[in-house]
């Protein structure tokens, strides 16, 4: 039975999320991992606080650095060997906290759900800074999967996370059973001219990227009709990982590497794909959903009305329903194939 949970900021309700909740969503005194920036305690969003309390770091050994990378993620409360694991990526310069509203709904639906922080972003320990280019991000995810998940997954990528997902699906098809691409940023040519900036100019650019005014503006572009109070709290959530001392170095490493350019990889994707798009996306036109649909060999499109660039934040119930149905359909098809 559907109930309505309300996230509050101070005394004002800021977001209603339809969800199957067997437990209270109110946060009383969450105990946060010691490695999170202390500013996490200034966040009011109860869903963000609950998910932040579950973030952990798992060791990942990669080839491009001698030390294991303690890699941040949210792990499932329980496994589900009868279903495919779902792995949630995030967008550009973000973290697993993007999934604060949708993650609990996927768990309530019985899915084995992981939320993974892409190398260079999120809350991993990058004190001994590794390279944060595309190849390093890909290997880091692959080694994480090989060490901790070990089964084919449904890989979910929103915004730039869709480019990350396509890059992984093409280069490591054994990892990805199927894909969910949400408001996909897959037609940009990497970081463009930013890759040729002198280091001083690159650091000036990432300083602006972390700035509160820019983050606030991005929120107003991304979401429909949110209040200044809500946008301020979401800005604190969105830039929390930027408070680590290594964040600027990691951001410059990615920027100067050239970033993601996966346009040529799209037609190489063989996995079944669900494309989800917010009809009112002001960042990436929903017309590109149909272009992407035409270039992927096995894809379907679902649009969410009255929704902007990040459906899993703005319309979590709708996003969770579409993802859950797609995962179950993928599992059914896999069972039929194994029988035949």
On whether the CB atoms of residues 25 and 47 are closer than 8 A, the answer is yes
Which residues are marked as active site? 159, 281, 309
Euclidean distance between CA atoms 194 and 291, whole angstroms: 26
């Amino acid at each position: 039975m559907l109930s309505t949970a309300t996230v509050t900021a101070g005394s004002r309700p800021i977001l209603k999320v339809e969800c199957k909740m067997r437990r209270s969503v109110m946060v009383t005194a969450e105990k946060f991992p010691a490695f999170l920036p202390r500013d996490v305690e200034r966040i009011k969003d109860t869903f963000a606080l609950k998910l932040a309390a579950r973030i952990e770091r798992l060791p990942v050994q990669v080839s491009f650095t001698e030390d294991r990378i303690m890699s941040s993620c949210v792990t499932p409360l329980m496994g589900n060997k009868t279903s495919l694991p779902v792995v949630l990526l995030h967008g550009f310069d973000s973290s697993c906290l993007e999934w604060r509203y949708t993650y609990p709904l996927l768990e309530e639906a019985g899915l084995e759900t992981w939320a993974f922080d892409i190398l260079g972003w999120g809350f991993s320990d990058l004190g001994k800074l590794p390279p944060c280019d595309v190849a390093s991000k890909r290997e880091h995810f692959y080694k994480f999967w090989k060490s901790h998940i070990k089964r084919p997954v449904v890989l979910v990528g929103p915004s730039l996370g869709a480019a990350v997902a396509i890059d992984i699906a093409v280069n490591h098809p054994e990892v990805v059973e199927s894909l969910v691409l949400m408001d996909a940023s897959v037609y940009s040519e990497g970081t463009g001219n930013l890759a040729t900036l002198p280091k001083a100019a690159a650091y000036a650019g990432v300083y602006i990227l972390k700035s509160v005014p820019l983050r606030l503006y991005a929120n107003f572009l991304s979401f429909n009709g949110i209040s200044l109070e809500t946008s301020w709290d979401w800005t604190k959530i969105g830039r929390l990982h930027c408070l680590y001392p290594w964040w600027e170095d990691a951001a410059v490493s990615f920027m100067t590497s050239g970033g993601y350019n996966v346009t040529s990889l799209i037609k190489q994707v063989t996995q079944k794909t669900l494309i989800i798009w917010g009809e009112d996306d002001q960042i990436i036109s929903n017309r590109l959903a149909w272009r992407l649909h035409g270039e992927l060999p096995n894809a379907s499109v679902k649009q969410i009305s009255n929704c902007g660039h990040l459906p899993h934040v703005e319309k979590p119930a709708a996003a969770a329903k579409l993802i859950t149905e797609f995962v179950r359909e993928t599992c059914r098809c896999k069972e039929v194939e194994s029988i035949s």
